[in-house]
């Protein structure tokens, strides 16, 4: 049994409260594992704190609170994550109760944002307000999120002891049991008309089958199981996977079906080896037919009369960025999607920018004041962009001018290549940049400075004339693929930290996509590619694509048509 399993069975309280009472700077090692289930990661420079807010939507007051927390308790910035969450960094232990009390007062929480539970449930950020949307995915996401909330009594005892809670409150949500799940568990709700949440990359992906003429605007849901993009270095039995079709169900049947899947993972997931503990490995080990049979059996025992139908075929997939100004269902109201580099909202200068005007710029106080002055709602996309909602038509010119005056780029000012590029938070923090890599500022797993490497790479490609290509470039500092490297048009993940030669090294993948004829994983292409050889390699690939592509052929289709072996022959390994 993995050591974390023992800690979970001992309870989630530990001596966390004692550390806070004694005002100590660090939590004990075992308690750092417990804290993850409360959305808190202990890092070298304080703590990372992550919110859990389904669908990534904030009221005016909630967004103002997030901004204030970033200014008062964190490092004057927060990150929008690929799960529509918020992450704060460098938070001191003594500030955790204040932060959690404030969030709790605004109906938000951090518990379950990390740890071996159902993480933040993602959904299309605008399906409830977009004028042309036929179905609201948020209602489903919220219902699932509420059903699987950790609801740990220790969370309240440690951080909000003054809150009156039922005397018989169980230690955790009974669906989890004392040992919780073997590993994290991710759920996404998408639309057959908009694959913007990438359901196939989740443990459970739910695809609403849109039909405006059907009751409630949908014919039901396709359910997929066993997705996940992470892998472990030097462990060939770990790998990215796309979720497989389990069946089709009505909306009213979703919760029992998803709960059956969660319970199967709870009871049969690997608790000996955490590297093989995700649901995808259980589905792979059993096969989808056995897994489906187990779901049927659990549903039958409940006597609900639920049958999994045959998944509905889909002819193609489309992904919307939700960038730009769009009308809402409410007449006279609009939402405006703005590109945010790697989801970084910072007052002391962004490390990266999706436009040259944003590099070194600040946007934390600007967006806080904008949201306050116009009483706007805020949504976050899986692509880590920010969406302002409930904008009155009469306010658009003034808001537009304020964006321009502050140097905030809009969708028209960002190239297609840059708009679709993403990197994880991996940035090293050292006294000298001569040999960085010993202390990771934002993530201890990162081998490479993905966040710093991406803007330089994109700028070089734009300068060379490739900015018009809508090819996602996804860079993650390690093979966990937090920035979707495993589905990137160009996917890079860290292979070696900076070496004595002064270079970092990446593995390169190509041809991934979440739109087109079918979702696709990226194909392995180069291993341990030196950082200064990444751009030349991409340029040769892009030149070949533009020269050899067929009519309306996407970069993903092109890569899959030629195959990794064919492209290896066409693109010689660069010499450096």
Q: What is the pLDDT of residues 523-535, one digit of tens each?
A: 999 999 999 999 9
Residue 118: what pLDDT?
A: 98
- Residue 166 has a pLDDT of 82
> What is the reported pLDDT for 357?
36
Q: Given pLDDT bands bounded at 50, 70 and 90, which one contains residue 369?
A: very high
Q: DSSP code of 175?
A: T
Judged by average pLDDT, the poorest of 4-13, 319-328, 431-440 is 431-440
For residues 89-115, average pLDDT: 96
pLDDT greater than 70 at residue 349: no
Reported confidence tier of residue 1, pLDDT bands at 50, 70, 90: confident
248-285 pLDDT, tens digit each: 999 999 999 999 999 999 999 999 999 999 999 999 99
Residue 433's pLDDT is 35
Q: Which two tokens stand for residue 460?
A: 């070089």
Average pLDDT, the chain: 91
User: What number of residues does the chain have?
Assistant: 576
Q: What is the pLDDT, as a whole number, of residue 435?
A: 35
Q: CA 218, CA 102: separation in Å to the nearest integer?
A: 38
Identify the bridge partners of residue 199 per DSSP, sorted by sequence position.
none
pLDDT band per the 50, 70, 90 thresholds, residue 474: very high
Q: What local confidence, expressed as pLDDT, does residue 432 receive?
A: 33
Give me the sign of the Cα torsion angle 425, 431, 437, 438: negative
Mean pLDDT calculated for residue range 40-59: 94
Residue 48's nearest CA partner among 93, 16, 12 is 93
3-state secondary structure (DSSP) of residue 513:
strand
Smallest CA-to-CA distance from 379 within 145, 66, 110, 154 is with 66
Report strand pairing: 77-80 vs 86-91. Answer: antiparallel
Half-sphere exposure of 191 (CA within 13 A, CB side): 24
For residue 478, what pLDDT band results from cuts at 50, 70 and 90? confident
Residue 573 pLDDT level (bands cut at 50, 70, 90): confident
**What pLDDT does residue 57 have?**
96
Q: Check whether 167 has a pLDDT greater than 60.
A: yes
Beta bridge partners of 520: 513
pLDDT for residue 499: 84
Per-residue model confidence (pLDDT) at position 141: 98
Q: 90-104 as b/e, with b when 16 or more CB fall inside 10 Å?
A: bbebebbeebbebbb
**Residue 463 contacts by C-beta under 8 Å, 6 or more apart in sequence?**
none
Judge contact between 195 and 318, C-beta under 8 A: yes
Which residue carries 């319970």 as its tokens?
Answer: 263
| pLDDT for the residue numbered 442 | 66
Read off φ and ψ for residue 481, nearest 5 degrees: 60, 35
**How do residues 499-515 score in pLDDT, each as one tens digit?**
888 899 999 999 999 99
What is the rounded distance in angstroms from the CA atom of residue 360 to the CA atom of residue 351? 6
Gyration radius (Cα) of the chain, Å: 23
Residues above pLDDT 70, as percent of the chain: 94
Biggest alpha carbon–alpha carbon distance for the chain = 70
Distances (CA, A) of 10 to 13, 39, 165, 304, 312: 9, 19, 22, 35, 44
Q: Is the pLDDT of residue 324 over 80?
A: yes
**pLDDT bucket at 342, cuts 50 / 70 / 90:** confident
pLDDT, tens digit (0-9, with 9 covering 90-100), for 85-100: 999 999 999 999 999 9
- pLDDT the model gives residue 45: 81
> What does the CA dihedral 403, 405, 407, 410 come to, rounded to 10 degrees?
30
């Amino acid at each position: 049994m993995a050591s974390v399993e023992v800690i979970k069975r001992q309870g989630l309280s530990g001596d966390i409260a004692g550390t806070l009472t004694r005002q100590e700077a660090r939590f004990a090692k075992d308690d750092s594992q417990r804290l993850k289930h409360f959305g808190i990661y202990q890092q070298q420079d304080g703590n990372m704190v992550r919110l859990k807010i389904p669908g990534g939507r904030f009221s005016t007051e909630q967004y103002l609170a997030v901004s204030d927390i970033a200014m008062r308790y964190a490092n004057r910035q927060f990150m929008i994550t690929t799960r529509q969450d918020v992450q704060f960094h460098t938070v001191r232990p003594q500030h955790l109760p204040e932060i959690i009390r404030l969030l709790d007062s605004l109906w938000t929480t951090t518990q379950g944002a990390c740890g071996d539970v159902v993480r933040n449930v993602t959904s299309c950020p605008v399906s409830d307000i977009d004028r042309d949307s036929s179905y609201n995915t948020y209602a489903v996401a919220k219902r699932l999120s509420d059903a699987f909330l950790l609801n740990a009594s220790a969370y309240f005892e440690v951080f909000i002891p003054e809150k009156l809670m039922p005397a018989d409150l169980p230690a955790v949500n009974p669906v989890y049991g004392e040992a919780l799940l073997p590993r994290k568990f991710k759920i996404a709700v998408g639309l057959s008309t908009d694959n913007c949440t990438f359901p196939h990359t989740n443990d459970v992906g739910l695809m609403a089958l849109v039909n405006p003429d059907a009751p409630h605007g949908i014919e039901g849901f396709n359910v997929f199981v066993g997705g996940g993009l992470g892998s472990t270095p030097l462990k060939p039995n770990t790998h990215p996977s796309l979720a497989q079709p389990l069946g089709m169900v009505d909306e009213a049947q979703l919760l029992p079906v998803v709960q059956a899947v969660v319970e199967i993972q709870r009871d049969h997931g690997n608790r000996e080896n955490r590297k093989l503990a995700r649901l995808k490995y259980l589905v792979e080990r059993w096969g989808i037919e056995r897994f489906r049979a187990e779901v049927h059996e659990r549903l039958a025992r409940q006597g609900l009369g639920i049958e999994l139908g045959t998944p509905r075929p889909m002819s193609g997939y489309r992904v919307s960025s939700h960038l730009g100004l769009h009308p809402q269902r409410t007449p006279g109201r609009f939402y405006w999607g703005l590109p945010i580099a790697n989801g970084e909202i910072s007052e002391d200068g962004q490390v990266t920018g999706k436009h040259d005007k944003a590099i070194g710029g600040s946007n934390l106080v600007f967006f806080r004041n904008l949201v306050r002055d116009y009483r706007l709602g805020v949504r976050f996309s899986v692509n880590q962009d920010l969406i302002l909602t409930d904008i009155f038509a009469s306010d658009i010119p003034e808001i537009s001018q304020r964006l321009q005056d502050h140097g905030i780029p809009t969708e028209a000012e960002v190239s297609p290549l840059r708009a679709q590029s993403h990197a994880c938070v991996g940035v090293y923090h050292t006294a000298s940049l001569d040999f960085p890599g010993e202390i990771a500022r934002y993530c201890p797993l990162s081998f490479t400075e993905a966040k710093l490497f991406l803007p330089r790479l994109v700028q070089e490609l734009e300068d060379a004339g490739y900015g018009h290509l809508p090819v996602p470039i996804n860079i993650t500092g390690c093979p966990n693929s937090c920035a979707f490297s495993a589905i990137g048009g160009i996917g890079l993940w860290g292979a070696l930290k900076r070496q004595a030669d002064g270079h970092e090294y990446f593995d390169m993948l190509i041809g991934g996509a979440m739109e087109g004829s079918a979702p696709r994983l990226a194909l392995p292409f180069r291993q341990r590619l030196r950082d200064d050889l990444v751009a030349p390699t991409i340029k040769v690939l892009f030149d070949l694509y533009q020269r050899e592509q067929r009519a309306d052929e996407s970069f993903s289709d092109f890569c899959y048509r030629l195959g990794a072996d064919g492209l290896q022959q066409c693109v010689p390994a660069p010499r450096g």
